[in-house]
Amino acid sequence: MDLRLPKPLPADAKTRRAEALDALDSVLPFDRRDFLAELLTDDDAATLRHLAKEGIGANSLRALASDLGYLEAWSLAATGFSLPWPAPEALLIKFVAHHLWDPAKRETDISHGMPEDVTAGLKSAKLLRVDGPHAPNTVRRRLSSWSTLTKWRGLRGKFNAPGLQSAIKLAVRASARPRGRKSKKAVTADILTALLKACDGDRLVDVRDRALLITAFASGGRRRSEIASLRFEQIVEEEPVPTHPKAPDGEKLPCLSIRLGRTKTTQADSDAFVLLVGRPVLALKGWLERAGITEGAVFRGIDRWGNLEKRALTPQAVNLILKRRIAEAGLDPQSFSAHGLRSGYLTETARRGIPLPEAMQQSQHRSVQQASNYYNDAERTLGRAARIIV
């Protein structure tokens, strides 16, 4: 990594720090620990371990670790030193100026935005993929992580300083970057059908991918992090339910409930749950039986020889599985991501006329506004407002 380190990190210090991060093996991907050990300080590692002991959610801790690694790398590239704690307001404003800027002005002023040597350093460390300004939400999230980590160190930062807030507002306005969807296209029922056909085989990986995709969709469009962290102990067998609600004594369908625990919108001690009914139940049970899973992670890695691994899939792996199956179905992987399962579920419920409150019980959206956006999109394409002149 060419990050202008003041001096090489001693091997024993790197080893000690990697061992400290090993304590977070359930949170940090194994292949990232050595990388983070080069960037983070001993105090950084201690802070992350403290957060883990305090019971912060695994997904939140993973995001904090990732953002902290980026912030330390940026500080090394931009100043030659590790992050100071607490950070002075000038450094916070410099971070904003390096990440939110006006592309038009950059054409006439090469010093505007992130300097070329800082860009090159971050790209060499594979921490920077974009050439233009960052998304405002990404910058705000990293500043929020920076603030959170500052507070957990018992320090007070300058994150609410008027100068910083003014810089953010002006920079967002100058960058003029349109907000994009997490997934360009929604994985609706017809797309899901194509995906399931793409993994219609008898290999262990096919059985897993079918169960993963149909479970993620039918359980309300679960986030990729929730699918990756799903454990056998969260699945509860329920009494069969009527195939037709108006005929309670008729044919029955198998039913499972998934206890969510801590998610982005629920707490660890929450009794929130979602249901699986019918075909998704059979797919999930078929996977568990085929893989011999009776405890621990539900969806696990499978090596190139078809052997089941003990380690759970990462959220990134869930996304890659969907994209691979999208390609095998003859669709464009660039147009879909795992979030498309979530948006697709709500889009599909809107198309079928399912009331929004009922759909939100399954999706566990907290915000009516956020959930209704998918309904509005579906209604607009099918409605009369856009068909005044045809």
Write the DSSP assignment of 113-168 as a string of letters. SS-HHHHHHHHHTT----SSPPPHHHHHHHHHHHHHHHHHTT----TT-HHHHHHH
- Using the predicted structure, report yes or no on whether residue 366 has a pLDDT greater than 90: no
Q: Which of 47-51, 196-200, 382-386 has the highest mean pLDDT?
A: 196-200
Residues in the chain: 390
CA distance 270 to 351: 30
Q: Sorting pLDDT into bands at 50, 70 and 90, what band is 198?
A: very high
Where is average pLDDT lowest: 97-111, 211-225, 325-339? 97-111
Which amino acid, 340?
G
Q: Are the CB atoms for 121 and 2 separated by under 8 Å? A: yes
* Cα–Cα distance, 279 to 168 (Å, whole number): 49
pLDDT per residue as tens digits for the range 146-193:
999 999 888 999 999 988 988 888 877 766 555 555 667 889 999 999
Going by pLDDT thresholds of 50, 70 and 90, the confidence category of residue 268 is very low
- pLDDT mean over 7-12: 51
The reply to whether omega before 88 is within 30° of 0 (cis) is no
Q: What are the φ and ψ backbone dihedral angles of 168, each rounded to 5 degrees?
A: -65, -45
Residues carrying CATH 1.10.443.10, the chain: 189-382
Q: Which helix (H) or strand (E) holds 98?
A: helix 89-99
201 contact partners, CB below 8 Å, separation of at least 6:
none
Please determine, looking at this structure, whether the domain spanning 189-382 carries the CATH number 1.10.443.10: yes
- Amino acid (1-letter code) at residue 2: D
**pTM over the 0.75 mark:** no
| Alpha-carbon span 61 to 45, nearest angstrom | 12
Arithmetic mean of pLDDT, 65-94: 92
* Residue reference for tokens 């990388």: 35
240 exposure class (CB count in 10 Å sphere: 0-12, 13-18, 19+): middle
Query: What does the buried/exposed string (b/e) look like for 204-218 if buried means 16 or more CB atoms within 10 Å of the residue's CB?
Result: ebbbbbbbbbbbbbb
pLDDT at 269: 44
DSSP 194: H
Cα distances from 278 to residues 188, 223, 256, 275, 337, in angstroms, run: 18, 21, 9, 10, 26
Residues 6+ apart with CB under 8 A from 279: 214, 218
Decide if pLDDT at 236 tops 80.
yes
In the three-class reduction of DSSP (H, G, I as helix; E, B as strand; rest coil), residue 309 is classed as: strand
Q: What pLDDT score does 5 carry? A: 43
φ and ψ at 277, to 5 degrees? -135, 135
Q: How far, CA to CA in Å, does 377 sit from each of 185, 255, 368, 381?
A: 12, 31, 14, 7
